[in-house]
A and B are shown apart, each in its own frame.
Chain A
């Protein structure tokens, strides 16, 4: 019986749904910003840049790696500003920008070929398992494990799990079905759990032992 109580208290729980930004308000703000950018207003362009720089650079960084991230992110922003006049505003600006970023990152990888692909070398560089669950080194090990995944898995994990987008948004960005987004994310998580192994839970083994 005490076993059941313990079980209930440690049952992993679903996340509470993130409060989504008010879509209509966001779209209206986007429309204003886009209009100003189209008129070539330097301040608006810089504003748009600062609004999206972390998302674009972070995404590129995690998909193509640190050495090429700036090049890809720059290319994305150039495309954003050059193509903005064709943006019809019938989707969120962020969806479109994420899509440009994912596509630019993936096509950059394809162009680069396999010469820079991470492999066993990177595995060897993974730091030792953590002593405690919450040590800051875990973040860098997760980043390293991310880098070992196939690029498509990296993209879905960053979009859904790091950036916190819904599967509907991911599907719109990746141009796939919602079901595909879900199953890819599931597989990607399974792969990264496999790579990380017990590192995710510094304390679990000891608890199981008691």
Chain B
């Protein structure tokens, strides 16, 4: 092994991450190479000092600050229309498909729908939710989860099937939630509206079943969700118009 081969492995060696065979090769090189040994010594010192850095205590007032913010957010949340609360619940939960295609698509769908005249089309879509969308709890189980013990080059592709199933489950959750909302609004619809809605939902469900697994099926799910969003939002507008 040359110095160039050894140096990128030094961090792994010092952290005990190399398998015994590679570790032994690195060790053998270090015994004979002064330059690499120097770097390894520095790196080991750095590793130890970093590990020894003292924990940083937050100010004692922090918990009170958090409670105050939570209270404020809860009040704001309760004042949002139901369809916004539902979207806030499912949108951040949408898992990101490998390279982020799904989340991007969902975001675009939301923007398009808002631009087409959602109740407060001028406002950005759930600006308060955007950061959460980038760090949703469910995404911890995304493609990166398989990395445990796996070779780094296989970690994304190996889990695509599982990921696709999860994406579908998320869409199903979202659709179900929106259907429930639409159900609540239903009492205010005309008979024609109800019939049209039911027929369309049946059609959209049929095309989900008919679509090939993977992207086409996801597209079909998005169609359904978009339609349900529209139904819920339109009702929201109607209500606003009536009450004013």
Contacts and interface: CB of A to CB of B under 8 A. Distances in A.
Given A54-B58, A86-B137, A12 B43 contact: yes
B73 A58 contact: no
A14 B14 contact: yes
Contacts of A15: 14-16, 47
Most B Cβ at <10 Å: residue of A58, A74, A133: A74
Contacts of A204: 41
A189 B46 contact: yes
B43 A189 contact: yes
Given A172-B144, A182-B17, A200-B49, A88 B137 contact: yes
A168 B131 CA distance: 24
A182 B58 contact: no
A83 B92 contact: yes
A67 interface: no
B134 to A, nearest CB: 5
Contact of A7 (B31, B73, B89, B153): B31
A78 B70 contact: yes
A104 B15 contact: no
Contacts of A178: 147, 150, 152, 155
A162 interface: yes
Contacts, number: 190
A157 to B, nearest CB: 7
B165 to A, nearest CB: 13
Contact of B14 (A12, A99, A103, A180): A12
Nearest to B141: A90
Contacts of A12: 14, 30, 37, 40-41, 43-44
Interface residues of A, number: 75
Contacts of A83: 92, 132, 136-137
Interface stretch (B59-67, B182-190, B225-233): B59-67
Contact of B153 (A171, A179, A182): A179
Contacts of A179: 152-153
Interface stretch (B5-13, B110-118, B216-224, B234-242): B5-13
A175 interface: yes
A204 B138 CA distance: 49
Given A12-B40, A176-B144, A57 B56 contact: yes
Interface of A: 4, 7-8, 10-17, 46, 49, 53-54, 56-58, 61-62, 69-70, 73-75, 77-79, 81-84, 86-88, 90-91, 95-96, 99-100, 103-104, 107, 133, 138-139, 142-143, 157, 160-162, 164, 167-168, 171-172, 175-180, 182-183, 185-186, 189, 192-193, 196, 200-201, 204
Interface of B: 8, 10-18, 23, 27, 30-31, 37, 39-47, 49-59, 62-63, 65-66, 69-70, 73, 89, 92-93, 131-132, 134-142, 144-145, 147-150, 152-153, 155-156
Nearest to B58: A57
A61 B56 contact: yes
Contact of B8 (A160, A172, A186): A186
Most A Cβ at <10 Å: residue of B11, B134, B138: B11
Given A11-B30, A79-B131, A175 B66 contact: no
A8 B10 CA distance: 17
B54 A139 contact: yes
A169 B152 CA distance: 13
Contacts of B55: 54, 58
Nearest to A14: B16
A53 B58 contact: yes
A96 B140 CA distance: 7
A109 B236 CA distance: 37
A70 B59 contact: yes
B134 A107 contact: yes
A86 B89 contact: yes
Contact of A139 (B8, B52, B135, B137): B52
Contacts of B14: 12-15
Contact of B56 (A4, A58, A175): A58
Nearest to A180: B152
Contacts of A196: 46
Contact of B11 (A46, A81, A99, A185): A185
